[in-house]
């Protein structure tokens, strides 16, 4: 069974915490301290809401809503928690992503979310109607943070966070 990554997106404090308790699963970040709260858990006293940043749990498939697809930049701070539960990817508002379409007669995903892909290594393959196989390679080394399966057109779009 393949589990989905969890997505947390920056929101106003009121969307995360009401009357000192978490209104939904969220992450509170104040300076170098992170507090992960489940719904109805109390906000610790040492957290000052006016100085903290709040990220609420969101449906992972909605990741693309937080990316300016024309500029390839993040529109909000985001935390992705990979299915292993230990690996986290932090994306800040303004971070630039590589947005790479995968189009063809048949498509094969090679790299999945959380995988590091190096420049020159294939992250996906497409087969033409004539049976030719073309391997798609990223222009820069990076980590796959989202794969959008476009339903109105039969293809995928990879979102890759490039390394510096």
Q: What is the mean pLDDT of residues 126-139?
A: 88
48 with 25, same domain? yes
109 with 60, same domain? no
Cβ burial of 59 (10 Å; 0-12, 13-18, 19+) is: exposed
**Number of domains forming the structure of the chain:** 2
102 with 87, same domain? no
Task: Classify the C-alpha dihedral 13-16-22-25 as positive or negative.
Answer: negative
pLDDT category of residue 24 using cuts at 50, 70 and 90: very high
60 with 31, same domain? yes
Contact of 139 with 128, CB cutoff 8 Å:
no
pLDDT category of residue 104 using cuts at 50, 70 and 90: confident
| pTM listed for this prediction | 0.87
Q: Which domain holds residue 63?
A: 6-91
């Amino acid at each position: 069974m393949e589990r989905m990554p969890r997505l947390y997106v920056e929101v106003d404090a009121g969307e995360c915490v009401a009357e000192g308790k978490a209104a939904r699963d969220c992450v509170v970040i104040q300076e170098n301290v992170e507090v992960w709260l489940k719904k109805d858990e109390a906000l610790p006293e040492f957290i000052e809401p006016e100085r903290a940043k709040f990220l609420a749990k969101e449906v992972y498939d909605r990741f693309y809503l937080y990316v300016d697809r024309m500029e390839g930049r993040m529109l909000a701070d985001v935390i992705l928690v990979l299915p292993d539960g230990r690996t986290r990817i932090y994306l800040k508002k303004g971070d630039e992503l590589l947005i790479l379409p995968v189009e063809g007669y048949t498509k094969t995903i090679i790299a999945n979310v959380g995988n590091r892909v190096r420049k020159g290594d294939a992250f996906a393959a497409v087969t033409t109607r004539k049976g030719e196989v073309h391997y798609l390679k990223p222009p820069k080394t990076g980590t796959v943070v989202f794969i959008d399966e476009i339903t109105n057109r039969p293809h995928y779009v990879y979102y890759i966070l490039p390394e510096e």
